[in-house]
Structure 1
Amino acid sequence: MCRLAAYLGTEIPLENIIAKPRHSLLVQSQDAQEAKLRVNGDGFGIAWYGHLPEPGLFKDVLPAWSDTNLPSVCRLVRSRLFLAHVRAATTGATSRDNCHPFTHGRWAFMHNGGIGAFSAIRRDMEALIGDDYYAARRGTTDSELFFLMLLTNGLDEDPHGALETTLAQVLDIAARRTDRSVPVRLTCVFSEGSRIFAFRFADDGLAPTLYLSECLDHGGRAFASEPLEGPCTRWRPVETGTLIELSGAGALARPLFAAEVRAAC
């Protein structure tokens, strides 16, 4: 399982989330407490927003703790909104193109978890991606395909609707092509530069962890796979089957699908 974090608020150095906290993302890359694998050493990435609509992107295949450039980048680069990810590979080779976050236009996307029996359903997923978005594909992961499906399904116009459509498509393909013995587990965080969206979903009820804090020391809000200071009251778990939209005004939760479907998530 990968580990991730995302921040929205006043402009701060990236290190305030990625490196400085007691249980920062950098610490989680070597000592995750709420994942199958404690070590996440198959690459890392950061997408941050500045004065342009499109995010900056810094990714590499080195473990986050061994990249000598990362401390300087995190100390000197400041941003009001950024996404960061450390990878434990489940599908796709260890390559820069397979490291998260993935970006397209103004959007940045990262994922923790996996789409069960991906090799059996990959071709059907690919067939649902619009030509322009398919041409932008660089890697071989289930994560990037899911992101391109979201874009195809209208992420720009309606993030909630695009997510419901994409999830329904993946679940339908999995039901037709597999025996469903391997679950679909998705914890995803994505942004267009002004808001951060996040959700947890699993068809076996075991979605990877995600927490939300709306009261960080520097006045910001954040998502993280594990609380950045360790367990404490200012971090609360994100409910499964719900899309959270985080903005300067706070967190807005919208359920995914009908109640009878959510009960199985």
Structure 2
Amino acid sequence: MCRWLAYTGDPIYLDTLITQPDHSLVQQSLNSKLNYNNAGQLLSTNGDGFGIGWYDHRPEPGVFKDDIPAWHDKNLANLCHHIRAHTFMAHVRATTTGDIQRTNCHPFSYKNWLFQHNGQISHFPRLRRELQLSIAPELFPAIHGNTDSETFFLLALTYGLMENPKRALQRMVEEVLKILEREDKDGVLNLSFAISDGLKLYTLRFSHNEAPMTQFYSTDPSCMEEFENDEIPPIPNGCTVVVSEPLDHTDSKWQKIENNCFTTIKQNQVTTETFL
């Protein structure tokens, strides 16, 4: 399992969320508080790699990722301190599928799209071939790693992510469930996605046969006021922060996104719909 965050709004420096808060994403890579596996065990360490993706003045996102722990990489802290972006996402990895290598770290990118995932699918090594045969031939060369997450992203692109994100994800999930249930009717599919084209941010929270991964959002600039670190600059009005777990603690300033929900976000306009 993993932890992630995503931001959209007026430009801010990435370290405002990724490294500086008391329970920042980098702190969560060492001490997650809400990351439980299906046996109910807390997975507090997410040290199998990290990544950041951001949009500034160009349509294609910048991406930086590596397969070492986020807390151990000074380049990450330095870049986050100097990069300012209107939309960005970040991810720390605890692998259940795929090797510990840079090509398996999130976020994944294709043209102007970014994608990151927390969750799992049962029996992926056995299902991988059949799932990937459904990827469009022109997208197949974009597979660089061996994770279920990258496969889900390319399947969504195959089914029209760039034209209709919700419908593409519905088609992807329907296809994945069909293949999974042929293998194991009790098999698990757990999806917590963040996706962006640089103009809007989309999230999905969906689970099948397992408790869903946690997902919260805040449009309240004062959500940062609970932090003990006085050096953190204020979050601007008109923004939205989405997280796997809050950057301070769960309170009224962080709204839980319910299971089986697809969410569309532009600045602080949040629209949540039933997914399936």
Q: Structure 2 length normalisation: TM-score?
A: 0.91
Structure 1 pair 249–226 and aligned structure 2 pair: CA distance change class (3 A):
closer
Offset from partner CA, 1:161-190 (integer Å, 9 cap, x none): 0011000000000111x2233311111111
CA separation in 2, counterparts of 1:34 and 1:253?
A: 22
User: Does the alignment pair 1:108 with 2:124?
Assistant: no
Query: How far apart in 2 are the matches of 1:44 and 1:222?
Result: 19
Alpha carbons 1:212, 1:237 under 8 Å: kept: yes
Residue among 227, 248, 252 paired with 2:246: 227
Cα distance in 2 for partners of 1:188, 1:152 equals 17
Q: Give the residue type in structure 2 aligned to 1:250.
A: Q
User: What SS does the aligned partner of 2:139 have?
Assistant: helix
Identity across aligned pairs (percent)? Answer: 39
What SS is found at the alignment partner of 1:145? Answer: helix
Partner of 2:147: 141
Which residue of structure 1 lines up, in the alignment, with residue 5 of structure 2? 5
Are the equivalent residues in 1 in contact too, given 2:264–2:270 (CA < 8 A)? yes
Q: 2:261 aligns with which of 242, 245, 251?
A: 242
CA shift at 1:121, angstroms?
1.3
Counterparts of 1:53-202 in structure 2, within 5 Å, are 53-176=59-182, 178-202=183-207
Partners of 1:141 and 1:245 in 2: CA distance: 25
Give the letter aligned to residue 243 of structure 2: A
SS state at 1:131 partner: coil
Q: Distance in 2 between matches of 1:13 and 1:230?
A: 22
- Counterpart-to-counterpart distance in 2, 1:189 and 1:115: 17
Amino acid at match of 1:204: N
Length, aligned pairs only: 256
**1:22-33 correspondence runs (5 A):** 22-33=22-33
Aligned match of 1:260: none
Q: Which 5+ residue runs of structure 1 have no aligned equivalent?
A: 258-265
Segments of 4+ moved more than 3 angstroms: none
Contact persistence 1:116–1:180 (CA under 8 A): no
Structure 2 distance, partners of 1:119, 1:154, is: 25
How much has 1:238 moved relative to structure 2? 0.8
CA separation in 1, counterparts of 2:52 and 2:7? Answer: 11
Question: How big is the shift at 1:207?
Answer: 1.1
**Does the residue aligned with 1:252 lie in a helix, a strand or coil?**
strand
| 1:261 equivalent in structure 2 | none
1:216 to 1:180, Cα distance in 2 relative to 1, 3 A = farther
Q: CA deviation at 1:249?
A: 5.0
RMSD of the TM alignment (CA)? 1.0
Normalized against structure 1, the TM-score is what?
0.94
1:204 equivalent in structure 2: 209
Structure 2 spans left out of the alignment, 5+ residues: 37-42, 223-234
AA at the equivalent of 1:157:
E
Indicate if the aligned counterparts of 2:219 and 2:268 stay in contact, CA closer than 8 A: no
Preserved CA contact (<8 Å) 1:244 1:252: yes
Partners of 2:51 and 2:9 lie apart in 1 by 20
CA distance in 1, matches of 2:216, 2:250: 10
